Structure 1
Amino acid sequence: MKMNNAVRSLGSPTIGKSLLKLSALSLSMMCLSLAHAAEAEETNQPTKVAKVTVTGSSIKGVAAQSASPITILKGEDLAKQGITTVEEALTKVSANQAGFTTSQNVGASNTEGSSANLRALGTDKTLVLLNGRRLAYSPFSTSTTNLNIIPMAMVERVEILRDGASAVYGADAIAGVINFITKKSFEGLSISAGALQPEESGGDQQDISIFGGYGDLDEQGFNIYGVVDYRRTNNIMAKDRKVSRRGGVLPELGLDASSANGFPANFYDPNGGPLDKDGKPTGLLANPYGDSNCNNAPNVVADGGLCYLNTQALIGITPKTETVSALGRGTFKLSDTFNLVGEYIFSRNKVATSIAPDVYSRSVSLPSSSQYYPGQGITPGVDGISGKPIQLYLRSQAGNRMSETTTDSHRIFAGVEGEAYGWDMNGGVTYAQSEATDSFAGGYLNRSNLQAALNDGSINPFGASADSNLWKSFEVNGDTNKGKLKSTTADFTVSRPIYTLPAGEVGFAFGGSFTKQEWDQKVNSAIVSQVPSSGIDPNKPISEGDRDISALFTEFHIPILANLEAQLAARYDDYSDFGDTFNPKIAFRWEPMKELMFRTSYSTGFRAPSLYDINAPQSETYTGSKYNDPVLCPGGTATSPQYQTECNVQFKRMQGGSPDLQPEESTSYTAGFVLEPIKNLVFTADYYNIEVDNLISTISDAMIFDDPDKYSDRFIRDTDGRIKYVNTTLVNMGGIKTEGVDLSLNYLAPTTKTGRFGFGIDGTYIMKYDRQDEKGGKWEGIVGTYDDPAIVRWKHVANVNWSYENWKMVFEQQFTRGYKDQNTTGDEKYDNHRVSDYTLYNISGTYSGFKNLEVTAGIKNIFDEEPSASNVTDNFQYGYDPRYTDPVGRAYFVRGTYKF
């Protein structure tokens, strides 16, 4: 093909060998990648400078010359460390923290599955691309990409732009961009398989990938290839790990999250109990076995005459996952200068979760005619009972509630790329669709059938029933909720040098796009109406929305001096449902000497309220944490015995969207340098400063209960004064201000008789993270503290590596600084608890000396580090936070790749 020479060096008319070394070293976080780059240097072969489109720019250039900070991860190097999922790969990026993890699907519905979170600004402010174009967002958020649908086996490299990029990519790129890039072509056939086995039960993984391709683009005029990838991971039950087997009863952390909805059931008799001064009954809250150790039921504790179930000891702390993915790509030479490209990617991801048995909090009752009514001969009597129907705080005996979420993702792209009349041209049409389905897979019961069985005396809410299989017969299985998001985009970009200045050529790019998005969510009212504990509103079976987005953008690279260049970019977007927005960016790159380069940028950004934000149905679910009703149980003490159930309990909360939301807006500033004081030693430092206004978020249940007077209108109560729910629907709130610095140091020693050694460390230090809950409100500094989630001040990944002939080894450390805990216990004794630092050590080795076969083996978490103790209650996992620590423990992995 004709060589593309549309744009020269962005810093000077020619590119020196030192600058190429700088690029190879400074942009890779993985030391193995550094070894490959440096080994290529020593071949004494002429270096070909490839012009490529680098994430963050529409103009082709050399990656090292970017005025914005970019981190590059090589898929091959990640695989050699036993990494098979995108979620795990992004733990290697220090700028990414507090994303939504797959483990957080436990106890949740309508989730995004798994997502990234650069700068801890929120998962909806990191833009995720595949080969430079958008994937369909999760249909249960329509603003984040489910990382589980991206097959790591197909990824050649990951480019992470740690800078705002709305001027180039439009909405959602406030915190940065993560671009997953697959192979452009492939010839031959290869198969790769791997397995991971923890020392303790559960959490084992298996995966297999098959690659096949045919055709030489230059010789035959085409290349087609395909990849099929399958991955599965088994769940881990709370009982199988030391950190979780005690569930939510952790006195050393001030936690007692046991539930009054248990078995044997507690009951409330509104017509029983002592009489008040007017001769009316005050109500009776009791348990017929509360004074006899609750019949020694497992995971149940007697306290004050009641029985409490330790629900968190029953759950699966990590879900079972299964993913199958397929990629097909074809490149066909239309002429010497143009190629036709077609690409299709499919992924199906299943996440299966397990939580405590179905719950009934006074939503079912026991008539006095039941043979199991207290005092009727089978169940012990209770003093003060009225002999009238009693309301039950009951748990099902049909086993854990099992849920499954299945996400199908499709993306089809067809386009043309090449050069004509000196212009680089790239355009095409992309259709992306994501469909997610939540399902009951076991343990959810039909309340009406249960009530009928209580009425006719066939179910015993206090012990064994005559027919032990009857509970299972009440199960309701099937799809409960489906969401679908479809997006069709036509786009084009053209670029070329348009003028020659004394310092070099001016690069210019221009482009545009048109996108149509359609979203709908359908609730299976027939099923969810039978199961109140689902938290899904059956009264709004269909929600939907659509929008059109038109965009124009331009970009200039201007060489001001031989060693000083400016990047100017601007983008105009028009949304059919809220209006238009204009976002510019200006960046400078200065290389005063061959060993030193400075860079800085300023840009604005925005995030439009998503279709889900605007149109999502409002539905009830339970709060993650437990609270005291500020009116009926102030300070944890019930104002009357019947209100004891309003103390330390999960209340319901209303969640959902709002049509009145306005876009978020941001400003971003970066400044940094890259220094190579001696050969193969590279140090980088990049400062960032980001401010987000008009933040779309919720007034969380924690905020509401922490200041009940201020948020009194958020408490919605029923006729008897109990909390019906708290209102946590989406609103435009205040903002976020954050600043910090990314640091990296990488070194590769010269080759010796014993091989070649190297080391590297990449970390992010957050200097400030201030949050404003309401417009005009006070700013509160929360870095180093928990604020759903915690804002970790320092995080790094370091490694030492060695290579010799066919051998390569990597020893790695992953470190996360501790922070002030959530501390929602209400007990001063625990208010200053800190989550300790968390450090993991991993080791892996690869041997490639076999014919056509490469083998990798290693150990993750060599020293079997336990997750750091935390009293966080915002997730279903108690005792630790699954966003920052891993309960798998020490695990061994092996991987083999055979090329035919």
Structure 2
Amino acid sequence: MMKERGLPRSLRLMFSGGVAVGLGLLAHSVQAQETKTDDAPQQLQRVEITGSSIKRIAAEGTSPITTIKADDFVKLGATTAAEVLASVSGNQSQFTTASNVGAGKTVGAAADLRSLGSNKTLVLLNGRRLANSAFDGSAVDLNVIPIAALDRVEVLRDGASAIYGTDAIGGVINFITKRSYTGLNLSAEGIAPEQSGGAEKRFNLSGGHGDLDKDGYNFFGVIDYHNQNGVKASDRSVSKLGGQNPNVGLNASSGNSYPANYYDINPGTSGNPYAGNCSSLTPFAFNRGGICRYNSQANIGIVPKTEEIAVLGKGSFKLDADNTASIEYLHSQSKVKTYVAGDVFAGDGSGTATDYYINSSSPYYPGNGITPGSASGGPLSLNWRSESAGQRVTESKNSTDRLVLSLEGTKFGWDYKTGLSYSVSKAKDNLEGGYLNNGMIQAGLLSGVINPFGPQNAAGTAYLQSAQLYGTYEDARTQTTSIDFTASRELFNLPAGPVGFAVGGEFRKEKANFNVDHALADLDASTGSQDAQSSSGSRNVKALFTELSIPVVKTLDLSLAARYDNYSDVGGTLNPKVGIRFQPAKQIMFRSTYSTGFRAPSLYELNDPTSKTYTNSAYNDPVLCPGGNVAAGGIEARDCGQQFFKLQGGNKNLQPEKSNSFTLGMVIEPIPSVTASVDYFNIKIKNQISTISEGDIFNDPTKYAADYVRNPDGSLNYVLNTNVNLGNVHTQGFDLGFNWRLPKTAWGNFGLSLDGTYVTQYDYQSEAGGPYLNNLAVYGGGVGTAGGVVFRWRHTAGLNWNNGPWAVSLQQIYTTGYRDQNGVNVVAAYKNHEVSSYTRYNLSGTYTGFKNITLTAGIKNLFNTNPPASNVTDNFQYGYDARYGDVIGRAFFVRANYQFF
């Protein structure tokens, strides 16, 4: 049994060695409700906070909220929204830009509070929805968030369907831009990794004119540009071994090899003319059982080349002393270019027009003088990888546009806010090289112009070049138009204080279109879109919500909220929320909430065109190669250790997910300079929408026999892996926060902080009514759609110092270890492999002594710590898990900011 990793051990690690904490992103604010930023008295201003529609004093809230200030994450060199959220302990796993390697139709980058899936975390910009990513359209692409325009990020670590409706089961992340700005500001930043690849550049220009209070108007705009170079698998020690990694027992490879393996149709035997000497042609090929296997994961890019640009403009106008009108426009676009091993051509063993085969008339037929060895003289069906045509390159382009017209202020004693917003997200996947016209390859092999066993001559090279495919083969668009209105006021006074009340409504129209260009997609099976059909969907959403804040007695407040949503395609749902805040003394406060939640299936989950794509991992056909041993009718190069096709896509019969959430917390302030908090959370989800883990399908072929679709000859065509309603999920644990501002000294000011999450349970069902499986500190299929791990303990800790114009920040990010995936590609001796804990430090220093200039320099991953070794094969990057580890390594960064006026 694996040894359980707990909180005490991690705390000992954190404080051992004298220097064990670094600046957390919460160094200045652990909880929005109870944090002080300085010793000066704070003016009690009524504001709207994330998670409530009632304007109130921030300290009155009942739900736990984490606030991350822009100054904090800028100092530490964060260049993307995903990187900012990586230091939030409750955001355990993310789909990052690096996770796009080998994956198509993705969200780009997404948050995932509580490890419940990115589709259960609601992402807002200034309190309003963005259109979900056009591909994987159940989450917002974090790459479109313009972080140069941000003032802060508020993370509500509690279910909030009663306030915001769908998607808010795991929590809410609200990116809040500057309200107004005057002046002109230019900043430039460069990040240089110590190892090859991954260098970054970032520039942004922001400016504003007019004082909203004095002049009655303000115009504010930001232009933000960021790019990052790619990283090759060969550039990092943790990934360069690919699927042949004895350090973790990983033994994964592809039978689609260069040089090609063949199936001699007449005698029915497999072979390779270079058997025993496969590596003489490429370092990625090796010998096994009379054929060549190909280590494709050693010949990929592990970090994509990315480019992002965002433009945000906002104009605000005072209508009178109490009312403001504003217009806000956002345009953001990103490009993600990924590189994987060369195109594959898997013969079906038929020697017919559907096969990839050569005849004895080919000059490259074994024994004809160029290729060594000999064959029977009959057709040879091939399993070939076109290494000589280069890596397959895909560029995903995503863009978002959003226009918001809004009014807010006070009328007739009511605080109100209303707005009309239009948001559209577009995405397209482009072929940029290495994808080859399958029909031309079949013809080229048959005519003898292509050499499947060795380097191409001039004619073969020219032919492969002419077979290259370029252009957009899939595109998608999601569109959201909404109008919302919220009004709040104090209704009357009770002996303990005024009763707050809010009421509001929303009407939203959602549209989605998914298009496949079959004129291009059908030319190469690697696109996976031959069987996909263009589709579209739309729906109307109507909502009405209300909220009450009741001071029962001086020390006890009660909040009540309810929201009714009606979806034109899946029906209506009512979700309440109850919150209690009890403060028996100034130094201590208790809080608790209970709420129900729901998530309607997204238009993408309902209407995504079904398409074939390769499984993430390599498997054995349970019929033709059980346990890795070729059975009657099986072909080793085709049926053993292969990435098979899976059919993925939407399901119009999906039902909404439902949830119950409970929190119970305490905040103490024993002295004014120390704040500590602990919050218990308990979340249960029913009817989870996801896909069955492909590992589960191959590990239990009897249970999932109906998901295997075979060809007439018995070989595996694909496994069915479309969206379904699975069973339930149950998770619970504790969030811990600590913030200590040490007394001022002659040597400067010091502060310590900690933001941590300790999970005590994460159980899930892989099917409705099935047994509960553990995903806590064990790699499993409960996280998201591709499996993953829930860490028992994760924290960000910090130490910060400032004195005059100087400031230094040291940050530590720590996660406990877990039991590895230990799948079918792992040798028996490593079936109990455990991934070690993971600790990174980031250091930065800032100087503001020059007029109008701020200079920052620092080191990310100070001790150049590699991601912990893992034998996971659910991702295309082998040797480590890209969702949790930083493969860039030690990187130096500098940032200069100049304030013109």
Q: TM-score range by the shorter chain?
A: over 0.9
Q: Secondary structure at the match of 2:624?
A: coil
Q: Secondary structure at the match of 2:234?
A: helix
Q: How does 1:686-705 map to 2 (within 5 A)?
A: 686-705=679-698
Q: Secondary structure at the match of 1:724?
A: strand
Aligned partner letter, 2:196: S
Aligned mate of 2:237, from 218, 239, 242: 242
Q: Does 1:711 align with 2:704?
A: yes
Shift of 1:302: 1.9
Match of 2:359 in 1: 367
Aligned mate of 1:533, from 512, 526, 537: 526
Partner Cα separation in structure 1 for residue 592 and residue 191 of structure 2 = 43
Distance verdict in 2 for CA 1:572–1:248, change over 3 Å: same
Q: Does 1:626 align with 2:586?
A: no
Shift of 1:141: 2.2
Distance verdict in 2 for CA 1:215–1:785, change over 3 Å: same
Match of 1:331 in 2: 316
Aligned mate of 1:348, from 321, 330, 333: 333
Match of 1:24 in 2: none
Alpha-carbon contact 2:737-2:754 (below 8 Å) kept:
yes
Shift of 1:375: 2.1
Match of 1:19 in 2: none
Match of 1:106 in 2: 101
Alpha-carbon contact 1:756-1:802 (below 8 Å) kept:
yes
Aligned partner letter, 2:420: V
Q: How does 1:435-454 map to 2 (within 5 A)?
A: 435-454=426-445
Shift of 1:35: 14
Cα deviation code 1:246-283 (max 9, x no counterpart): 111012322122211111111112222xxxxxxxxxx1
Shift of 1:292: 3.6
Shift of 1:625: 1.2
Shift of 1:63: 2.1
Aligned partner letter, 1:873: T
Distance verdict in 2 for CA 1:390–1:706, change over 3 Å: closer
Partner Cα separation in structure 2 for residue 766 and residue 493 of structure 1 = 36
Alpha-carbon contact 1:107-1:353 (below 8 Å) kept:
yes
Partner Cα separation in structure 2 for residue 638 and residue 610 of structure 1 = 42
Alpha-carbon contact 2:255-2:383 (below 8 Å) kept:
no
Q: Secondary structure at the match of 1:89?
A: helix
Shift of 1:633: 1.1
| Deviates further, 696-705 or 659-668 | 696-705
Match of 2:873 in 1: 873
Q: Secondary structure at the match of 2:98?
A: helix
Cα deviation code 1:656-712 (max 9, x no counterpart): 111111000000000001001122111100000000001111122111111111111
Distance verdict in 2 for CA 1:515–1:65, change over 3 Å: same
Distance verdict in 2 for CA 1:684–1:631, change over 3 Å: same
Cα deviation code 1:75-130 (max 9, x no counterpart): 11110111111111011100001221111110010001110000001110000000
Aligned residue pairs: how many? 859
Match of 1:30 in 2: 26
Cα deviation code 1:717-740 (max 9, x no counterpart): 111111111111111111100000
Match of 2:350 in 1: none
Aligned mate of 2:129, from 134, 142, 157: 134
Partner Cα separation in structure 1 for residue 277 and residue 334 of structure 2 = 47
Aligned partner letter, 1:674: V
Match of 2:541 in 1: 549
Distance verdict in 2 for CA 1:84–1:229, change over 3 Å: same
Match of 1:308 in 2: 293
Match of 1:812 in 2: 811
Cα deviation code 1:799-834 (max 9, x no counterpart): 111110111111111001110000014643112110
Q: Secondary structure at the match of 2:356?
A: strand
| Deviates further, 290-299 or 342-351 | 290-299
Q: Which has the higher contact order (CA 8 A, sep 6+)?
A: 2
Alpha-carbon contact 1:284-1:641 (below 8 Å) kept:
no
Shift of 1:791: 1.1
Partner Cα separation in structure 2 for residue 831 and residue 443 of structure 1 = 36
Match of 1:21 in 2: none
Distance verdict in 2 for CA 1:182–1:406, change over 3 Å: same
Match of 2:401 in 1: 410
Aligned mate of 1:602, from 594, 615, 622: 594
Distance verdict in 2 for CA 1:697–1:293, change over 3 Å: closer
Alpha-carbon contact 1:671-1:686 (below 8 Å) kept:
yes
Q: Secondary structure at the match of 1:148?
A: helix
Q: Secondary structure at the match of 2:698?
A: helix
Aligned partner letter, 1:315: I
Q: Secondary structure at the match of 1:653?
A: strand
Match of 1:756 in 2: 749
Partner Cα separation in structure 2 for residue 628 and residue 456 of structure 1 = 33
Partner Cα separation in structure 1 for residue 700 and residue 35 of structure 2 = 58
Distance verdict in 2 for CA 1:713–1:39, change over 3 Å: closer
Partner Cα separation in structure 2 for residue 688 and residue 38 of structure 1 = 21
Alpha-carbon contact 1:29-1:71 (below 8 Å) kept:
no
Q: Secondary structure at the match of 1:194?
A: strand
Alpha-carbon contact 1:285-1:641 (below 8 Å) kept:
no
Partner Cα separation in structure 1 for residue 585 and residue 469 of structure 2 = 70
Shift of 1:464: 2.3
Shift of 1:759: 0.7
Aligned partner letter, 2:430: S
Alpha-carbon contact 1:524-1:538 (below 8 Å) kept:
no
Aligned partner letter, 1:307: C
Q: Secondary structure at the match of 1:61?
A: coil
Match of 1:831 in 2: 831
Match of 1:485 in 2: 478
Aligned partner letter, 1:220: D
Partner Cα separation in structure 2 for residue 833 and residue 389 of structure 1 = 41
Percent identity of equivalent pairs: 48
Alpha-carbon contact 2:801-2:809 (below 8 Å) kept:
yes
Match of 2:5 in 1: none
| Deviates further, 620-629 or 682-691 | 620-629
Alpha-carbon contact 2:185-2:205 (below 8 Å) kept:
yes
Cα deviation code 1:593-630 (max 9, x no counterpart): 00000000000000001111111111111111111111
Q: CA RMSD in A?
A: 1.6
Structure 2: segments with no counterpart, 5+ residues: 1-23, 348-354, 781-786
Alpha-carbon contact 2:482-2:509 (below 8 Å) kept:
yes
Partner Cα separation in structure 1 for residue 238 and residue 577 of structure 2 = 47
Shift of 1:643: 2.2
Partner Cα separation in structure 2 for residue 485 and residue 325 of structure 1 = 19
Distance verdict in 2 for CA 1:865–1:539, change over 3 Å: closer
Distance verdict in 2 for CA 1:121–1:578, change over 3 Å: same
Shift of 1:772: 1.3
Cα deviation code 1:59-88 (max 9, x no counterpart): 011222210000000011110111111111
Match of 1:643 in 2: 635
Aligned partner letter, 1:213: G
Q: How does 1:424-463 map to 2 (within 5 A)?
A: 424-463=415-454
Q: How does 1:742-781 map to 2 (within 5 A)?
A: 742-781=735-774
Match of 2:154 in 1: 159
Alpha-carbon contact 1:35-1:748 (below 8 Å) kept:
no
Distance verdict in 2 for CA 1:34–1:708, change over 3 Å: closer
Shift of 1:776: 1.8
Aligned partner letter, 2:146: P
Partner Cα separation in structure 1 for residue 120 and residue 693 of structure 2 = 19
Partner Cα separation in structure 2 for residue 648 and residue 554 of structure 1 = 57
Q: How does 1:112-261 map to 2 (within 5 A)?
A: 112-261=107-256
Partner Cα separation in structure 2 for residue 642 and residue 373 of structure 1 = 23
Shift of 1:221: 1.2
Q: Secondary structure at the match of 1:739?
A: strand
Cα deviation code 1:162-189 (max 9, x no counterpart): 0000000000000100000001100010
Shift of 1:472: 2.0
Distance verdict in 2 for CA 1:313–1:49, change over 3 Å: same
What is the TM-score with the length of structure 1 in the denominator? 0.94
Q: Secondary structure at the match of 1:60?
A: coil
Alpha-carbon contact 2:30-2:66 (below 8 Å) kept:
no
Aligned mate of 1:786, from 779, 792, 796: 779
Q: Does 1:502 align with 2:495?
A: yes
Partner Cα separation in structure 2 for residue 145 and residue 821 of structure 1 = 29
